[in-house]
Structure 1
Amino acid sequence: MITTACSVKETIEPLDNNVLNQPFETNNEFETLKGVYEKNNQPMVVNLWATWCTPCLEEMPHFETAHREHSEKITFIGINISDSPTRAKKRAEELQISYLLGNDPDGSFTKSLKVIGLPVTAFFNTEGKLSTIHQGPISKENLQKSIMELLDV
């Protein structure tokens, strides 16, 4: 069972960067963060969410705003961890989300990040390496601050 976590920002020490190779499903195809990074060659912000997670739904518009402001410099990805792709897509459409969305059908992606609650946001640096994980809801201000750190601004 997944529960809502408290807000904690953690610097990742030797967390298994195997997360880059864990598949997630998008548009009926499987993708990996490594593949996305290699295509775009830019930092990534990956948000794990679910339709039943109220804090997740509340922060998604912040990610959308950040995506619109920084899409040329940062890749934003939202990965739904528990809902059917149809239900997740419907909710994302209701929220007018335009960044890349995926699903974690077998839970391997979620397990590789050692998720204990939702929402969770993972930040990957310019080298494609996991640099920070934010457990719990992230405010618009903290998201912007983390993005500036990724961009080294």
Structure 2
Amino acid sequence: MKSRNAIVLVVLLALIGLAVYQSVAGAKKEPAVAKEGSVKANYAAPAFELEGLDGGRYRVGGQREKPVVVNFWATWCPPCKEEAPDLQKLYEQYKDQIDFYGVNLTQSDKLDEVRGFVNQYGLKFPILLDKSGGTAELYKFVFIPTSYLIDRQGNVREVVNVLTYAEWEKKLKELAKM
């Protein structure tokens, strides 16, 4: 029980550290490309192109007509399962204002399980398949699910992990204005 509490404490401290860092980094005015480490707020989002579960090709990066939510997830991740219904509801609510992409960590998943997950949760937004793990490596996140809120100019405005529906709504209302 002590080791479980220690793990929870370490994860909690890491998330608090990330929140403090994002708050401090948010004071920067000019987005730039992150030189090393994970992708951070107020930096240009790395561009990528992936095949979707539907067979289409999707490109993320650079200027766009709408802001973007990029959510990295896997079928074996319990918080991803908790978050999926909220993301689908938010997609339905904001799909005319914000593009949503779910990036499955397909290198560590099975394609039939990905399809089952998408069907189980009724996900209608594009599900992109990171078969090689290259996109995950490009973004260098630590936890899943991790979502990147990207403005119309292609800059990461916020990096978030698990949020309540109300927290998501508040963040997406702001993102839709960017």
TM-score range, shorter chain: 0.7 to 0.9
Deviation at 1:51, TM superposition (A): 0.5
| Larger RCO, structure (CA 8 Å, separation 6 or more) | 1
- Deviating 4+ runs (over 6 angstroms): none
Structure with bigger helix share is 2
Of 116, 130, 148, the residue aligned with 1:104 is: 130
Instruction: Determine the structure 2 residue equivalent to 1:146.
Output: 171
Match status 1:49 vs 2:73:
yes
Give the 3 Å change call, closer, same or farther, for CA 23–85 of structure 1 in structure 2: farther
2:103 to 48, 68, 79: 79
CA distance in 2, matches of 1:47, 1:59: 10
Q: Does 1:129 align with 2:155?
A: yes
Equivalent of residue 31 in structure 1, options 58, 73, 89: 58
* Alpha carbons 2:73, 2:102 under 8 Å: kept: yes
Q: CA deviation at 1:19?
A: 1.9
> Gaps spanning 5+ residues in structure 2: where?
1-7, 36-43
Could you tell me how far 1:49 is from its partner in structure 2? Answer: 0.5
For 1:28 and 1:42, how far apart are their aligned partners in 2?
A: 22
> C-alpha deviations, 1:130-151, integer Å up to 9, x for none?
22111x3121111111101112
Letter in 1 for 2:46: V
Match of 2:3 in 1: none
Q: Deviations over 1:77-101 (max 9, x none)?
A: 1111131332212111011111111
Query: Residue 89 of structure 1 aligns with which residue?
Result: 115
Tell me the CA shift for residue 29 of structure 1: 4.4
CA distance in 1, matches of 2:68, 2:110: 24
TM-score, L = length of structure 1 = 0.82
Q: Give secondary structure in 1 for the equivalent of 2:127.
A: strand
Structure 1, residues 107-140: CA drift from partner, whole Å, max 9, x if none? Answer: 1111111111211010011222222111x31211
Query: Aligned partners of 1:34, 1:86: CA distance in 2, in Å?
Result: 28
Report SS of the residue matched to 2:148: strand
Are the counterparts in 2 of residues 42 and 128 from structure 1 also a CA contact under 8 Å? no
> For each residue in 1:20-72, what CA deviation from the matched residue of structure 2 results, as whole angstroms up to 9, or x when unmatched?
2x23221334432138x65xx20111111101101011011111111101111
Name the one with the larger strand percent: 1
Equivalenced residues, count: 145
SS at match of 2:82: helix
Counterpart residue identity of residue 73, structure 1: Q
**With structure 2 as the length reference, what TM-score do the two structures score?**
0.71
Identity of aligned residues (%): 21
- More moved, 143-152 vs 48-57: 143-152
